[in-house]
């Protein structure tokens, strides 16, 4: 049975203005339908945080174009499955040309799956942890240059994740994931998607 998480339903007609991605259909769809849409389930969050870690040092479009290959290689980012993988799986993944073949990032993904398994065993959830770091009143920016790369909330989240055993999720990666998962709405003020997200979801709140 296909375990690939479905994409969120489109927010509406494609906007005339986009914060990024204009000219590339895949990137445009990601901007219009996914980036900033709240993700509140642990598996969805685990996938986004994993992909953001792989993106470190690379462009996001590189990861986006490989996303289906990543999903196939990493068992749909099922943390319960990945938590049981070991060195033979790392070796296999390093031979997979469809993904980013970086040993540190691959090993971190498996370690993070084990950390999430332990968090679940203790009665916690990644969604509760991540959404507890949502800023109370996110600021809107007019241009991308004014969008921060990290915030006090992302620094605190990165520290909390590290304490739980998560790896390769520093403050910048944590903030990129917070943006992607709708913990903050960093669509620019002129972007129609920003207003649609606000009207559709209201202020961010823990699940």
Q: ∠ CA(168), CA(180), CA(178), 5° rounding? A: 60
Determine contact, residues 31/193, Cβ cutoff 8 Å.
yes
Which of the residues 27, 30, 85, 175 is marked catalytic?
30
27 as an active site residue: the answer is no
Which of the residues 33, 60, 107, 128 is marked catalytic?
60
Determine contact, residues 123/173, Cβ cutoff 8 Å.
no
128 as an active site residue: the answer is no
Q: Give 15's DSSP letter.
A: P
Which of the residues 34, 47, 52, 153 is marked catalytic?
52
- CA dist 88 and 111 (Å) reads 14
Tokens encoding 131: 């959404």
85 as an active site residue: the answer is no
- As annotated, the active-site residues are 30, 52, 60
């Amino acid at each position: 049975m296909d375990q690939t998480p479905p994409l969120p339903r489109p927010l509406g007609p494609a906007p005339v203005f986009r914060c990024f991605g204009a000219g590339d259909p895949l990137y445009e769809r990601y901007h219009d339908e996914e980036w900033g849409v709240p993700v509140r389930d642990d598996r969805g969050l685990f996938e986004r945080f994993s992909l953001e870690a792989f993106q470190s040092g690379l462009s996001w479009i590189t990861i986006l174009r490989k996303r289906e290959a990543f999903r196939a290689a990493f068992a749909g980012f099922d943390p319960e499955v990945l938590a049981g993988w070991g060195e033979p799986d790392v070796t296999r993944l390093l031979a997979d040309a469809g993904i980013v073949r970086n040993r540190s990032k691959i090993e971190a993904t498996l370690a993070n799956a084990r950390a999430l398994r332990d968090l679940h065993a203790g009665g916690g959830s990644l969604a509760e942890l991540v959404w507890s770091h949502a800023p109370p009143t996110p600021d809107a920016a007019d241009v991308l240059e004014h969008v921060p790369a990290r915030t006090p909330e992302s620094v605190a989240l990165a520290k909390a994740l590290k304490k739980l055993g998560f790896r390769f999720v520093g403050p910048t990666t944590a903030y990129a994931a917070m943006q992607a998962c709708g913990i903050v709405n960093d669509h620019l003020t002129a972007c129609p998607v920003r207003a649609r997200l606000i009207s559709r979801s209201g202020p961010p709140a823990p699940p």
